[in-house]
Structure 1
Amino acid sequence: MNLITSGHAAALWTGLHLFLLLTLSLLVVRQRQRHKVAFGDDGIPELAQAIRAFGNATEYVPAGLIAIGVLAMVEAPPLAVHLAGLVLFSGRVMHAIGLSQSGGASFPRAIGVTLTWISYVFAGVALLFFAIA
């Protein structure tokens, strides 16, 4: 009997991604309070980087979580859900670290984008497989 289901795996990765988004949001709030900026970035690089780290995550995470949720709905093996979730989460964390350290190109950002795209490709292929299998 399999004790860990695809739904449990999806719940884990959804929860972790929600806490990642909350953390990135809190980093924006902290920068806003520190620099006393209520709207925009006021030309402050640290604030702009925090805003983009959060914004970029909000651009990529929802589609990834939808894919993870649908994988669970079609009863993909929990390992497939965990793999998609782990690679997406790792990519988003790496990207956020890279963007928080520098507004320009960086190794962590490049790894983060690559892992995110790998997760998207893996989940997309898995979803198509389960759609036609």
Structure 2
Amino acid sequence: MPTVTALYAGLCAILLIALASRVVLFRRSKKVGIGSGKDRLDEVRIRVHANATEYMPIALLLLLIAELNGLGILWLHILGALFLFARLLHAFGLTAGKGGYHLGRFWGTAISWTVILVLAVVDITKYFSAT
């Protein structure tokens, strides 16, 4: 039973809904049905949410495969927690940065990519060690 992945999938889902709700609340307050209404802050909110939806599925899928293939629980938690932290850091950094530049955005992206690459290598290595 992949309980560690279940934990991080649930936490990522809550974060995703929180990010989506910021977009919805803004659109409702400005009466914007689709898009950002050319509002810079809403464009940023939309990208923060979209970026999370782009990276979360692959990271969680790789985490699930690693868990099903027996990666140790400590490593699963380290990678899952790092990924969640990275997504929070990215969301804060992109929202707080002027012109999109902020250390939170940089490190959030860098950590997300690192976790995804580490999980990819773990999963690929497992394939070759099993054959």
Do these two structures clear the TM 0.5 threshold for a shared fold by scoring above it? yes
Give the whole-Å Cα distance in 2 for the aligned partners of 1:83 and 1:131. Answer: 22
After superposing the two structures, state which structure 1 stretch, 76-85 or 22-31, moved more.
76-85
Distance apart, 1:129 and its partner CA = 2.2
Counterpart check, 1:93 vs 2:88: yes
Counterpart check, 1:33 vs 2:28: yes
Distance apart, 1:98 and its partner CA = 1.0
Structure 1 counterpart of 2:100: 104
Aligned length: 128
2:14 to 12, 16, 19: 19
Counterpart check, 1:9 vs 2:21: no
Percent identity for Structure 1 against Structure 2: 28
2:46 to 48, 51, 71: 51
Distance apart, 1:131 and its partner CA = 1.6
- The one-letter code sitting in structure 2 at the alignment partner of 1:42 is G
5+ residue gaps, structure 2, are none
Structure 1 counterpart of 2:120: 124
- The one-letter code sitting in structure 2 at the alignment partner of 1:20 is L
TM-score if structure 1 supplies the norm length? 0.90
Give the whole-Å Cα distance in 2 for the aligned partners of 1:104 and 1:13. Answer: 27
TM-score if structure 2 supplies the norm length? 0.91
Distance apart, 1:84 and its partner CA = 1.8
What is the aligned-residue RMSD (CA, Å)?
A: 1.3
1:60-81 per-residue CA deviation (whole Å, 9 max, x = no partner) reads 1110010011111112111221
2:63 to 42, 60, 68: 68
- The one-letter code sitting in structure 2 at the alignment partner of 1:40 is G
